[in-house]
Chain A
Amino acid sequence: MVFKWFNRLILLVYALLILVPLYFVFVSSFKTSSNFFTSPFSWPDPFTWDNVTGLFRNQPMWQYFGNSMIVTLGTVAIELLLSSMIAYAIVRWGGSVGKIVFALFVAGLIVPSQVSMLPIYSLTRTLGWSDSLTGLIIVSAAMLMPVSVFMLTGFMRMLNSEILEAGSMDGANEWRLFTRIALPLAAPSLAATATFLLVMVWNDLLIPMLMLTSKSKLTLPLALMQFRGEYVTNYPMMLTGVLVTAIPMIVLFLLLQRYFVAGLTAGSLKG
């Protein structure tokens, strides 16, 4: 009995540990500066939208959202298409060729973006891709290939090869087998991989920071870093920025929780 209450206490304390900072961000976003300083934890009194409207008036927020959307959707789309094709070919080809191609991608898992950042910075400058969202999409897709190929190959291995064989007996070419059989069967795994990539790209700081320079091109994490400098004394405004940029991810998370958990966990198992 005592243990049961002790267990509940632990769960409650940890829930507060997660909730209190998030609650603080939420209420601060609707507080006046004086209310923020006098009673940081209280419900906003008076409740004001000034921070939110002010943020959208002073900053090109819609543009930042747009940039993040373009980069994230572009990268994830390219990534899913190319990586699932590779995963399919690896599994279908099999043998030593399959192994070698797989190994080539897995080797890239060890190299973190913090190591590739310098050469990628200089290469993209030489290519004239700096400050281009398209360039950023292509580079991000290349850098995430190891993990997405790794995840998707694992999923594709679970496909029943007899179905593919039967299909090819009936005269279907590989593209047809891939789009009509492999992709539909792998759909849940594609969704999990997609959410993992979505979170990675939407939240990425390093690669956008190396490539983007002009204010009109910034993605949300970069914009937040910049607010930090601009709103050094205006904390409610700063925290409003945090809240507003987190909302799309939180909404997606609530809607697609299962895939978020599966994706982020599968991604974490890559080692």
Chain B
Amino acid sequence: MKNRLQLSLFLLPGLLLYVGLFVFPTLTGLFYSFTDWDGVSPSYAFVGLDNYKDSLSSIVFRKAFGNNVEFMLTVVIAQTFISLVLALLLVRNTKTKVVLRALYFLPAILSSVSVGLIWAFMYDPSIGLINYGLNEAGMSSMARNWIGDPKIAIFSIAAVQVWAHAGQMMIVFIAGLQGIPAELYEAARMDGGGKWQVFRTVTWPLLAPSATIVVAYTTIQSFKAFDLIFTMTDGGPNYATEILTTYIYHTAFGSYSFGLASAGSMIFLVLLALLTLLQFKALRADRVSY
């Protein structure tokens, strides 16, 4: 016995809020992308697909896209590897290991602004601790202007992203590892498998779902990064760390090209949707049963 009238009253307030302040505005974004609106003046004109053409042919947009890909690949590879290694080392529930897990997870609860500010100082070329440490260790030749050098800036920020979130992904791997039945390990060991062999034949295949989740989450999270880059370099030096989200922000609020920025957002959204779709496919393909 369900009372559908009462249940629709449950849906109403949330739906109103969601449609009115999220769905509807997002759709108007699509509308603006076909106009030359500057974001403030009352009038605007329709320009058809011009904004899309302008975006796709803009050098800054292309640079931002390239940086996005570079940032994403670096973070995904490094974060997946590091979080997996940490999870394998911390999977048992001993007291020390539980404390270490909490410590590794801690940066994930700090705001990206805090993390960005901390690392902006760590990386500072003259007073930063990284260069200070390198100098003290007699490796002055390794000292760099970490976020001021266009060649390495995007990788320096990628490292910070990993610093902040590898511990969180480690927890996902640990959950996966703890879900693997102990008998399977015993069986593999009975068959005379060495450590590496047990990992290859038991752990890794059964860990595939967790790995897919980690890769999927990390890919999407790093593709839509904003706060960290905004705080640390704001896209500089010379667009070296400009990614699509900061490009959209700068186009809208820096040069008041709202229409152009909206077109950029829509292209960004399509790319993100494609990535998400791929991830869903991968997630489904990788389901294992045991």
Contacts and interface: CB of A to CB of B under 8 A. Distances in A.
B265 to A, nearest CB: 5
A181 interface: no
Interface of B: 1-4, 6-8, 10-11, 13-15, 17-18, 20-29, 32, 39, 82, 85-86, 89-90, 100, 102-114, 117-119, 121-122, 127, 129, 132, 163, 167-169, 171-172, 175, 213, 216-217, 220-221, 224, 226-227, 230-231, 245, 248-249, 252, 258, 261-262, 265-266, 268-269, 272-273, 276, 279-280, 283
A3 to B, nearest CB: 8
Given A18-B106, A110-B276, A271-B280, A224 B7 contact: no
Nearest to B21: A142
Contacts of B111: 202-203, 205, 220-221, 224, 245-246
Interface stretch (A48-56, A57-65, A185-193, A258-266): A258-266
Q: Which secondary structure characterizes the binding site on chain A?
A: helix
Nearest to A140: B21
B220 A271 contact: yes
Contact of B21 (A15, A120, A225): A120
B110 A246 contact: yes
A169 B172 contact: no
Given A139-B21, A142-B17, A225-B231, 17 more contacts: A14-B82, A18-B106, A18-B167, A88-B10, A93-B4, A114-B268, A118-B258, A119-B32, A145-B17, A205-B113, A224-B113, A228-B117, A238-B117, A246-B114, A249-B109, A269-B217, A271-B283
Chain A, interface residues (CB within 8 Å), range: 35 or more
Interface string A239-259: 100100110011001000100
Contacts of B102: 257
B28 A21 contact: no
B237 to A, nearest CB: 17
6 contacts: A104-B15, A119-B26, A141-B17, A239-B117, A265-B172, A268-B168
Interface in A26-42: 37, 40-41
A70 B90 CA distance: 38
A14 B261 contact: no
Contact of B7 (A25, A92, A143): A92
Given A112-B272, A265-B172, A11 B248 contact: no
A175 B10 CA distance: 9
Contacts of A261: 105, 171
Contacts of B226: 114, 205-206
Contacts of A115: 26, 29, 248, 265-266, 268-269, 272
Contacts of B14: 82-83, 85-86, 145, 149
A249 B110 contact: yes
A89 interface: yes
A116 B18 contact: no
Interface of A: 7, 10-11, 14-15, 17-22, 24-25, 37, 40-41, 82-83, 85-86, 88-89, 92-93, 101, 104-105, 108, 110-112, 114-123, 138-139, 141-143, 145-146, 149, 165, 168-169, 173-175, 178, 199, 202-203, 205-206, 220-221, 224-225, 228, 235, 238-239, 242, 245-246, 249-250, 253, 257, 260-261, 264-265, 268-269, 271
B32 A118 contact: yes
Given A110-B273, A114-B245, A145-B14, A205 B104 contact: no
Nearest to B268: A115
A1 to B, nearest CB: 13
A205 B230 contact: yes
Contacts of B261: 118
A199 B216 contact: no
Given A110-B272, A145-B17, A174 B114 contact: no
B32 to A, nearest CB: 7
Contact of B269 (A110, A165, A173): A110
6 closest residue pairs by CB, A with B: A203-B111, A142-B21, A119-B25, A82-B14, A89-B10, A174-B6
A86 B5 CA distance: 14
B104 A239 contact: no
A68 B2 CA distance: 40
Given A19-B103, A253-B109, A265-B172, A174 B18 contact: no
Given A86-B15, A118-B29, A138 B21 contact: yes
Contact of A271 (B21, B167, B279): B279
A199 B112 CA distance: 11
